[in-house]
Amino acid sequence: MDSPSPAALPAPPPAPPPAIVIRDLVKRYAPTGKGAKSDGGKLALDGVTFDVPQGQIFGLLGPNGAGKSTLINILAGLVMKTSGSAEIWGFDIDRDRRNASASIGIVPQEIVFDPFFTPFEVLENQAGLYGVPKALRRSAALLREVHLSDKANAYARTLSGGMKRRLLIAKAMVQSPPVLILDEPTAGVDVELRRLLWELVGELNAEGVTVVLTTHYLEEAEQLCDRIAIINHGKLIANKPTREMVEMAREKIVVLSLDRDIAEAPAHPAFLKTRLSGERQVEITYDKDRMNAGEVMAVVQGLGYAIQDVSTREADLEDVFVSLTSDPHG
């Protein structure tokens, strides 16, 4: 009698649809001024295509003027695209603007709200604008989430800068959107406030909110983001999981402490760069695809130096960012 065949393994559940879908997005601003060319104005976005996966913290990076704010403003309904398409939570921003807008919360870089309302009134007014029935409003709960319950009835103008930024996050969440976009949320804030803001963002993400953020703090993006896209000159030049993005950097640095003072760094054709970082310490940059730290040490020992200590440093997101955005053809 044949033995029973093992039960078939259940198929993995299908991946959820993306939170944001952007296809061939183009924005060309109209020419202005007497010297404007007849063939059009500034091309801010040039055929940008990418998805933002559900449930992730997604970093959108790029130099100033790269097109990040234009893209965010198109999603927010503040700027009209020239061509292409965008969907938020499955709703096309042209065909279903109302539901697309209700599905996204925007936290702008600038602190903007009426200073003569209290934080509670700010949230109530915003909820009214989105048509949230009074019975379903969460103003008090949102103030608790952003740690502003004790300021609920204080005039907003009396809040500190950090409190105002937290209030902006609460304001963006009044309609319970599944997607939250933060545009440079920690620009100009101190280290402690930056930590508090990211704890708050992490809590929202843990509750299922998809977060898109722009930031100039690359270390911050590397630590927080599941995936990172980089825009430069209106074009998407990279879009990878954060770990893969960091691994794009081929350079690695080994720091060697030698047995005696040295006047100049040891040189060798296999080294990309060498730099003295102390009387007996040298930093050697090498291509990790061509050699490893052991081979670097062997070269230095072959030049007549004894090595007393060694440490290495992997490339980070800043190295990748500089490499990608410094390419004039990127």
Separation between Cα atoms, residue 31 and residue 192, nearest integer Å:
43
pLDDT for residue 33: 59
| 143 phi/psi in degrees, rounded to 5 | -65, -35
Separation between Cα atoms, residue 305 and residue 298, nearest integer Å:
10
Residues in Cβ contact with 215 at an 8 Å cutoff, skipping those fewer than 6 apart: 59, 61, 184, 185, 186, 187, 221
The β-bridge relationship of strands 281-287 and 273-278 is antiparallel
Torsion of CA 293, 285, 240, 62, to 10 degrees: 160
Q: Please choose, from the candidates 227, 236, 230, 238, the residue with its C-alpha nearest in 3D space to the C-alpha of residue 58.
A: 227
CB 194 within 8 A of CB 120: no
* Overall average pLDDT of the 43-71 stretch: 94
Averaged pLDDT of the chain: 87
Q: Band of the pLDDT at 60, cuts 50, 70, 90?
A: very high
Chain centroid, CA 32 distance in Å: 32
pLDDT tens-place string over residues 159-218: 888 888 889 999 999 999 999 999 988 877 778 888 888 888 899 999 999 999 998 888
pLDDT at 278 over 90: no
Separation between Cα atoms, residue 119 and residue 232, nearest integer Å:
37
The residue ranges of every structural domain in the chain are 20-246, 250-314
Q: Band of the pLDDT at 329, cuts 50, 70, 90?
A: very low
Residues in Cβ contact with 156 at an 8 Å cutoff, skipping those fewer than 6 apart: 113, 114, 115, 116, 117, 118, 119, 122, 164, 167
pLDDT for residue 276: 87
Separation between Cα atoms, residue 27 and residue 29, nearest integer Å:
6
pLDDT at 4 over 70: no
Class of domain 250-314: alpha beta
pLDDT at 259 over 80: yes
Q: Does domain 20-246 have CATH number 3.40.50.300?
A: yes
Separation between Cα atoms, residue 120 and residue 142, nearest integer Å:
9
pLDDT at 66 over 70: yes
Q: Band of the pLDDT at 35, cuts 50, 70, 90?
A: low
CB 57 within 8 A of CB 200: no
Counting every residue, how long is the chain? 330
pLDDT for residue 113: 74
